[in-house]
């Protein structure tokens, strides 16, 4: 059974914005556009014209990249927009809730709070490497749960959810709630994308991005993959002309170039650096713990995270402080070998913590 019956009734009844028709080789006097294109613009498509409401060629290219049918994918402004669309589509303000492990990506909570949806967080434990307990997630769900967010590998812990556990979670929730798997870091992990499960589970939603492994965070382009019925609902909620023409053309070029092959090489080098950095960090006396990671970052616990972060900042190295959620913990993104060496040299000079 499709999970769209759990979406907000008013969204199910909503119709998509009817944009002005876009037909090549016609005189377009139907969209209140300027007839003049900027002379300084150098793009295949004229910038004085609105882009496609939904960029079809880009949608097909990203579906091919991620391994699903074009009708199972919506291109979004980064995967963060997909989170927002899902919460607004499924959660009635003041009534429904989302369930997610903690610590995890803070934007699940953020968009739920914007929608005035409740947030039920299920704590994971440092002593068990922050492994996600799907039984605990299921126990936390109630009749008002509409979405269960699972980041895998998880940010900031680097934890990978086992495929058998994920399948059990999806099957247990069946027609009760959608399971949203955020795979922003999946290219760095040993697990295949859950997108390969889409045809089997209509309540599965998968988020993907070009920001991490492909190195295009500045483009702000991602995707949500799901059953076609879910995609149709999200399409109604997403703003028309969501993707700007320069972004569309940039990503089309990325997906048709040798960038994809180069990205695989870069991912392999980051994984190698991750293993080296994990081993080297563990040698410092002020480092209490370096957690294993399946992503492009490491979570560590130190004697005094504030002092370590300030010490590195004074040497033009920025780290991410998670002490508010996890005492004396910080997240280190795996950089280039040169950047990682600079970090290690800075830590070599840190005394007395």
Q: How far apart are CA 180 and CA 304, in angstroms?
A: 35
98 has pLDDT over 90: yes
Q: What pairs with residue 206 in β-bridges? A: 181, 225
Long-range (24+ apart) CB contacts under 8 A made by 21-27 are 22/49, 22/50, 22/52, 22/53
pLDDT band at 1 (very low <50, low <70, confident <90, very high): low
At 163-184, the pLDDT tens digits run 999 999 999 999 999 999 999 9
User: What architecture (CATH level 2) is domain 260-348?
Assistant: Alpha-Beta Complex (3.90)
What percent of the chain has a predicted confidence (pLDDT) above 70?
Answer: 99
109 has pLDDT over 80: yes
At 209-241, the pLDDT tens digits run 999 998 889 999 999 999 999 999 999 999 999
Q: Please say whether the beta carbons of 227 and 3 come within 8 A.
A: yes
Fold of 3-17+53-255: 3.40.640
106-115, 132-141, 169-178, 210-219: least confident range: 210-219
Q: How far apart are CA 150 and CA 224, in angstroms?
A: 14
335 has pLDDT over 80: yes
At 258-313, the pLDDT tens digits run 777 888 899 999 999 999 999 999 999 999 999 999 999 999 999 999 999 999 99
Residue 133: cis peptide before it, omega within 30 degrees of 0: no
pLDDT band at 351 (very low <50, low <70, confident <90, very high): confident
pTM score, two decimals? 0.95
Question: Which residue ranges make up each domain of the chain?
Answer: 3-17+53-255, 260-348
Q: Stretch 50-58: mean pLDDT, rounded?
A: 93
What pLDDT does 83 receive? 98
What pLDDT does 295 receive? 97
Residue 306's closest CA among 294, 289, 323?
323
């Amino acid at each position: 059974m499709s999970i769209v019956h759990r979406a907000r009734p008013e969204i199910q009844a909503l119709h998509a914005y009817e944009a002005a028709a876009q037909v090549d080789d016609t005189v377009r006097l139907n969209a209140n556009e300027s007839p003049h294109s900027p002379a300084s613009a150098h793009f295949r498509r004229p910038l004085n014209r609105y882009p496609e409401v939904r960029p079809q060629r880009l949608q097909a290219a990203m579906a091919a990249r991620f391994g699903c049918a074009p009708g199972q994918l919506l291109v979004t402004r980064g995967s963060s927009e997909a989170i927002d669309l899902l919460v607004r589509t499924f959660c009635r303000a003041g009534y429904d809730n989302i369930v997610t492990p903690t610590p995890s990506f803070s934007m699940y909570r953020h968009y739920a709070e914007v929608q005035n949806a409740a947030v039920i967080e299920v704590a994971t434990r440092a002593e068990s490497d922050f492994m996600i307990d799907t039984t605990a997630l299921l126990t936390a769900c109630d009749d008002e749960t509409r979405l269960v967010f699972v980041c895998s590998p998880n940010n900031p812990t680097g934890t990978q959810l086992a495929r058998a556990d994920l399948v059990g979670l999806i099957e247990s929730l069946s027609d009760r709630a959608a399971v949203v798997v955020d795979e922003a870091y999946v290219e760095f992990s040993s697990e295949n994308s859950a997108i390969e499960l889409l045809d089997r589970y209509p309540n599965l939603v998968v988020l993907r991005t070009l920001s991490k492994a492909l190195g295009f965070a500045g483009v702000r382009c991602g995707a949500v993959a799901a059953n076609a019925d879910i995609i149709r609902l999200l399409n109604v909620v997403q703003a028309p002309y969501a993707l700007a023409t320069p972004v569309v053309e940039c990503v089309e070029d990325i997906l048709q170039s040798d960038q994809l092959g180069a990205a695989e090489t870069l991912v392999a080098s980051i994984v190698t650096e991750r293993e080296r950095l994990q081993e080297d960090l563990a040698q410092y006396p002020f480092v209490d713990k370096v957690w294993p990671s399946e992503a492009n970052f490491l979570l560590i616990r130190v004697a005094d995270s504030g002092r370590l972060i300030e010490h590195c900042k004074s040497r033009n190295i920025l780290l991410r402080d998670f002490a508010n959620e996890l005492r004396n913990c910080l997240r280190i993104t795996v950089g280039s070998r040169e950047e990682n060496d600079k970090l290690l040299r800075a830590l070599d000079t840190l005394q007395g913590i």
